[in-house]
Amino acid sequence: MTIKTIILAAGQGTRMHSAKPKVLHKVADKALLHHVYNTSSQLADNSVVIIYGHGGELVKQQLSALTAEWVEQKQQLGTGHAVQQAEAFIDDDDKVLILYGDVPLLKKTTIEHLLQNVSQKSIGLLTVVLDNPTGYGRIVRTADGSVVKIVEEKDTNAEEKLITEGNTGIIAAPGNLLKQWLSKLENGNAQNEFYLTDIIEMAVNDGVQVKTNQADSVDEVLGVNDRSQLAHLERVYQLEQANQLMTAGVTLADPARIDVRGQFEKLGQDIDVDINVIFEGINSIGNDVKIGANSILKNATIGDGVEILANCIIEDAVVGDNSRIGPFARLRPLAKLANNVHIGNFVEIKKSTVAEGSKINHLSYIGDAIVGSKVNIGAGTITCNYDGVNKFTTEIGDGAFIGSDSQLIAPVKVGAGATIGAGSTITKDTPDSQLTLSRAKQLTIKSWQKPVKK
């Protein structure tokens, strides 16, 4: 059997109080629906159908990269009605898996255990035991433990309300049987909706056993209905990421104060991460790296022995071995630092290469530049790379010394071993090993008198 995953993502999510469809709200900077899709796409021989409704065009637009069949549920008439919209994509010999676009933390292993229950004689149902099952349909069983039916909470009687085993809505069934049961759904209930849960009683009546599974944790099957639940699942997810990092050998100053919103291509040994660090995109981090508090790394490649001090932002950039960054430094896209480079406080590097042993330690902007080795760039230096229309390159030769508060007007080349006097505006190429400066003559006006307030 192949697997056909149907993800129900048509709900409005009124309790979110948002103009944005619920499934586009994010955990770890990724849409809830995207999490569900990613988990299901890990299954072998699987194809995905997404049922969209409220705000559907926006959902399709923002998640257009997902490989799936998109089917609109024009009227939201219940979960059974939603699955009916996908019938054209269900083959008789499929294992049909029904998931929900607002349940982001469900694990692949849980799904695989559920799918093992599917045959022509049995279907799989994921349930959850809760101290307070309010809001959940109740699993009704016989004395021997066999599942009889599911009763939605609004239809429960007093005895059924006491049942603590709830329905997650996550079901796996053979395609041929599921289509038969879908065709028999009726909406004679308190909500006037077509409940998917009614197929459980139909299966029992047809002599098909309902086999149940439970996830390892309640959080795995929780959906998002309001901002509080969204925040809760964010912290659950982040604690999982923190535990994975620590298992891999990373030292975290506080596992509760770290956010991982992507993945790691490489994690070296003896990495120390201070509080409130955010990892986004795909990062690669070498051995013996220290990352200071409040720093953000996005698609960064960090070499061995690097120290990143507090409050740095490194995005789409490369930092060579034994370099030192920060505090309050920003490496923008296409910044590439060689080994033993020092980038200090309030320094911004953009689309520039900095060769080995160079230092840019204070209050400088280096953009569209090629900086040689063992260059020292003084405080307040700016490469003026933009004329309002086009951008130009500044080249600084090996061993050059750029005095503080200098402006290098690109395109321009500073020679190897050259010295630029502090406060200079350089508009022409400068020779190797020579001092170049441009300053107005310093004057002292002897007749000047300081104004006196009248």
What are the residue numbers of the active site? 362
Residues 371, 314: Cα–Cα separation, whole Å:
19
- Among 317, 251, 253, smallest CA distance to 283 is for 317
Give the 3-state secondary structure of 135-198: CCCEEEECCCCCEEEEECHHHCCHHHHCCCEEEEEEEEEEHHHHHHHHCCCCCCCCCCCCCCCH
Query: Residue type for 191, please?
Result: Q
Helix runs in 26-157, H state only: 32-41, 56-62, 79-84, 108-115
d(CA 319, CA 325): 9
d(CA 54, CA 433): 68
Q: Which two tokens stand for residue 203?
A: 């299966």
Give the chain's radius of gyration (CA, Å): 31
Contact criterion met (CB below 8 Å) for 233 and 31: no
Of 162, 213, 155, 218, the C-alpha closest to 189 is 155
Q: How far apart are CA 21 and CA 213, in angstroms?
A: 30
Report d(CA 199, CA 182) in Å as an integer: 7
